[in-house]
Amino acid sequence: MEIVHYLNSDDRKDKEKSLSKLESLGFRVGQSLVERFTKDSPRFKDELDTMKFICKDFWTALYKKQIDNLRTNHQGVYVLQDNKFKLLTQLSSDKQYLEAAPQFLAFPCGLIRGALANFGIVSIVTAEVNVMPACKFQIHISRL
């Protein structure tokens, strides 16, 4: 017999607040790390070079591997795919864990958003998991 747990509105608010806090912490850490990693480097010439830095150098420093795939529509949307994301590799691929996986991605979303913010790029970063332990980070660049 399967037990289904439904979150009441207070539990949902607490969960959203916790995820928001994790994302905010990631943002601050991302800002600090990118400042440290690039202090002696010349500025990137464009947005795509910045994204390549995030996928190669930044991700390698954090997770000991590069992002597996970077795609863009050249209109301010980038998709970074990590086929074996370290924070998800220890979780089972059962459905219950697949549904819980996005909780583990709030901090990394904040890391990316914070790193980009330090380069002057305002963005919205979301993540999705379709098959464990792979995940995709979708980055929407805000055009002011």
Residue with tokens 């390698």: 60
Question: Does 129 have pLDDT greater than 80?
Answer: yes
pTM of the shown model: 0.86
Average pLDDT over residues 108-133: 94
Question: Does 121 have pLDDT greater than 50?
Answer: yes
% of the chain exceeding 90 in pLDDT: 59
Q: Say which residue, 101 or 47, is predicted with more confidence.
A: 47
Residue 112: exposed, middle, or buried by beta-carbon count in 10 A (0-12, 13-18, 19+)? buried
19-33, 38-52, 108-122, range with the lowest pLDDT: 38-52
pLDDT value, residue 2: 37
73-98 pLDDT, tens digit per residue, is 988 899 999 999 988 887 766 667 77
Q: Which domains does the chain show, CATH number per domain?
A: 11-39+47-141 (3.30.1380.20)
The answer to whether 105 and 134 are in contact (CB under 8 A) is no
